[in-house]
Amino acid sequence: MKLDRLTRQAAFVLAAFATLLAGCTTYVTSQVTAFSDWSGSDATRTYAFARTADQKNSLEQATYEQIVANELALHAFRQTDEREAHYLVALAYGMRSDTVTVSQPAYYYSAWPGPYYWGRPFDPWGPWGPWGPYSGGYVNQSYPVYTHLLGIRITDRATGKELYNVTARNTDEQSSLIAAIPYLARSAMSDFPLGNGVVRTVKLPVDGKGGISNEVTADNAAPPVPASGAKTVQ
């Protein structure tokens, strides 16, 4: 039957469209800001996490520490007992909700049913007419958005001097902070150590399983500012 052929054709088009969408890459984009007076070497990259009183018995804190520890390990940091650590690493994190209002064009269509065949009235303002759809002005649409933030602060344990302070933040429609933390941690620690005063955008592609791909794309938005006595050791 003709209807069956149309159904099969429609299914084929939908399947092709789904395949095209599957091939598109989704990115998580974060803004990273770093302040640095880093002069460490690989031989001294032992650290322990520093916790506030509220963080000491927090499962959330422990979960985020493990995620950050995995990123630190990629840069030759080795977690150890606090008494033996050369550095202390402190974390700050949070989420803020906002509402974004967007002005969008509003459309309406003719009340005449369509499509139009011979013997039925022709409405030039209808969806199949030469001037349809017809704009009815603009309406305001409000959407919730969520800003997620992760800060990583590295200090010298013996002196308390701050050596590296980096924050990463992103905004999307998802409210889950735990889902955002892996991307924020990877973005914050990418190309460690950054220069002092560097502000840049980091794009991380999402792999087919919803995880982070190994590819990192970063665009510097501001040049580094020299820090007193700063020395970068790769």
186: pLDDT strictly greater than 60 = yes
Q: State how far the Cα of 67 lies from the Cα of 207, in Å rounded to an integer.
A: 18
Q: State how far the Cα of 162 lies from the Cα of 34, in Å rounded to an integer.
A: 12
Domain 25-101+146-222 bears CATH identifier 3.90.230.10: no
Q: pLDDT tens for residues 58-87?
A: 999 999 999 999 999 999 999 999 999 999
Q: pTM for this one?
A: 0.68
* Burial of 91 from C-beta contacts in 10 A (0-12 / 13-18 / 19+): buried
Q: Residue 161 belongs to what H/E stretch? A: none
Residue type, 102: V
For residues 113-128, average pLDDT: 47
**Tokens matching residue 6:** 């149309």
Higher pLDDT, 138 or 113: 138
